[in-house]
Amino acid sequence: MSAARAVRWTAAGNLVRSLTAVVQLLLVARFVSVPEFGLVVITSAIVLLVQGVSEAGLSSAIIRFRDVTEGERSSLYWANVALGAVSTVVVALLSPVAARLYDAEALSGLLQIAGVSLLINSLWLQLRVSAERDLHFHKVAPVEMLGTAVNFAVTMGLVVNGFGAASVVWGQVASAGAAAIAAWIVLGDGWRPGLHFRFSEVRRFLPYGRDMVLVNAITSLTIQADMLISSLFFTPVQAGSYGQPRDLNTRVMSAITPVVNRVGLPLMAASQSDVRNAGAIYLNLVRLNVSVCFPVYLFLGVAAFHALPSVLGARWQEAAQLFPVIALWFAARSVVSPLGTFLAAIGRSRLAVACQLGFLVMTALAAWGGAQGGPFWLAAAMTLTYVVFAEIAWALVLRPVAGIGFPEYHAVLVRPGLCVAAGVLVMAGAVMALKGVGAAPLPAVLVGGAAGSLVLAGGYLLLNRDVVRQAISLIGGRRPRAA
């Protein structure tokens, strides 16, 4: 499959899945209390932290190493399944500890249920990675969309019948099971792992796998640090009010960033012998990522600020007030999100460990300090941390490793940034003007969003035309060029 077709399939699949997840999140928020939603977010943070480790390392070795034998493939498969089983047991053992730590007895049961999905996901992880290596995203997308559909059906069926926070975790387990069954039908291509495990067949992958496990463990901890640390200090209502806009932005992110990372990894890995060319591909991926993420997050921030309470109820007023700051944080996050993928693709796993460890320290300190002031200051601290790290990443990694200069690095950010700023100002002004004359929040947001989108489109045609051309090329089936 061509890179362009892979992007289209990944984008389509992620868009459907993320829109479904956003609708599901909003519907769940209508049926559960703010403190209950906080429990859901804490559960997800802990499980995603463990999942980030269990799905790393040896699974990605299939992409990094192009000469994997059939025997090695089978041994790698069983190693990944064993890691998934260990992860499920670890979550179950730690669940009472987490419940005491966060002073939430119900958290223990939620974690024990959700942890089962880690084992189930490991049963088809290698099939997915192998398909992505070969750019067979047209096969991966339907499998993942089926899992999303099952998740939605089970979660909503339970939540409307009063099962509360448990509805979400049971939906995740059902989703994992459905996806695993479909994967073996669609992605297996007749392959079955041999019923054996030989340590000698995975030995050569261990240095890379060890480094990638460490990278992904640190990355997952960095991503979840704000929720895990702040929930130690926040009241249940504060945790839910902060977690709801954070989770909603995370769902939106899952529609965009994986398109860049999952398609970009094999493309950059193919150029690992030419680091400057891999760096050019990286810049192109960043430009595409921010050109989509900046407007989506910031327009969403304005919309939620004005309309979220009218959609979900007055109890989510605090969440609405936090939304613009959290949206700005996720926009800054989109600048640095492809960095780990770039370093993994060119085989610089040790450098990736060092970068992520430094960023973890920055994030943990920011989360701890911000949480002392409450949800608003936590969101502001996280935004500032990502902005600062984007500059550190250029100075200490991208410039010395790939020879990326200051002007070319920042040029991919300035153009979309100016266009989005103009669009957001027009949208915000229009919404406030319409509300000022008595318009309801939701219609005002829709009209204001349309006005802002027109300004954004005009700005992109004037200042960010390369991205528009590249989008047309992708739709037309042509491969995107390097920056």
Contact 118, 141 (CB under 8 A): no
Q: What's the CA gap between 392 and 363, in Å, rounded?
A: 14
Residue whose pair of structure tokens reads 């492809």 in the numeric block: 338
Task: Name the CA radius of gyration of the chain, rounded.
Answer: 22
Q: What is the DSSP string of 39-63?
A: HHHHHHHHHHHHHHHHTSTTTTHHH
Contact 342, 260 (CB under 8 A): no
pLDDT for 480: 47
Please give the DSSP secondary-structure letter assigned to residue 424: H
Instruction: Give, to the nearest 10 degrees, the angle between helix 34-54 and helix 106-122.
Output: 30
Q: What is the DSSP string of 363-399?
A: HHHHHHHHHHH-HHHHHHHHHHHHHHHHHHHIIIIIH
Residue 432 backbone zone (phi > 0: left; psi -120 to 50: alpha; other: beta): alpha
Q: What is the DSSP string of 313-327?
A: -GGGHHHHHHHHHHH
Q: What is the dihedral of CA 58, 63, 67, 73, to 10 degrees?
A: 40
Q: What's the CA gap between 98 and 456, in Å, rounded?
A: 45
Instruction: Give, to the nearest 10 degrees, the angle between helix 349-373 and helix 206-230.
Output: 10
Q: What is the dihedral of CA 260, 261, 267, 270, to 10 degrees?
A: 160
Q: What's the CA gap between 72 and 197, in Å, rounded?
A: 9
Going along 200-357, which residue ranges are E strands? none
Per the structure block, which two tokens stand in for 224? 């979840």
Instruction: Give, to the nearest 10 degrees, the angle between helix 275-312 and helix 236-269.
Output: 150
Q: What's the CA gap between 331 and 324, in Å, rounded?
A: 11
pLDDT for 345: 75
Residue whose pair of structure tokens reads 């153009």 in the numeric block: 415
pLDDT for 311: 87
Contact 344, 202 (CB under 8 A): no
pLDDT for 354: 84
Per the structure block, which two tokens stand in for 441? 């929040």
Q: What's the CA gap between 29 and 19, in Å, rounded?
A: 15
Q: Which helix (H) or strand (E) holds 62?
A: helix 61-64
Q: Considering only CA atoms, which of 388, 412, 102 is closest in space to residue 234?
A: 102
Inter-CA distances, 461 with 389, 427, 454, Å: 30, 19, 11
Q: Which helix (H) or strand (E) holds 474?
A: helix 465-476
Q: What does each of the 483 residues of the chain score in pLDDT, given as a tens digit?
A: 555 566 666 667 777 887 888 889 889 988 989 999 999 989 988 988 888 776 655 666 666 666 677 777 788 888 888 888 999 999 999 999 999 999 999 999 999 999 999 999 988 888 887 777 777 777 888 898 999 999 999 999 999 999 989 999 999 999 999 999 999 998 877 778 877 777 777 777 776 666 667 777 787 888 889 999 999 999 889 999 999 999 889 888 877 776 666 666 666 766 666 778 778 888 888 888 888 889 999 999 999 999 999 988 889 999 999 999 999 999 999 898 878 778 777 777 778 778 888 989 999 999 999 999 999 999 999 999 999 999 999 998 888 888 888 998 898 898 899 999 999 999 999 999 999 999 999 999 999 999 999 999 999 988 887 777 766 655 554 544 555
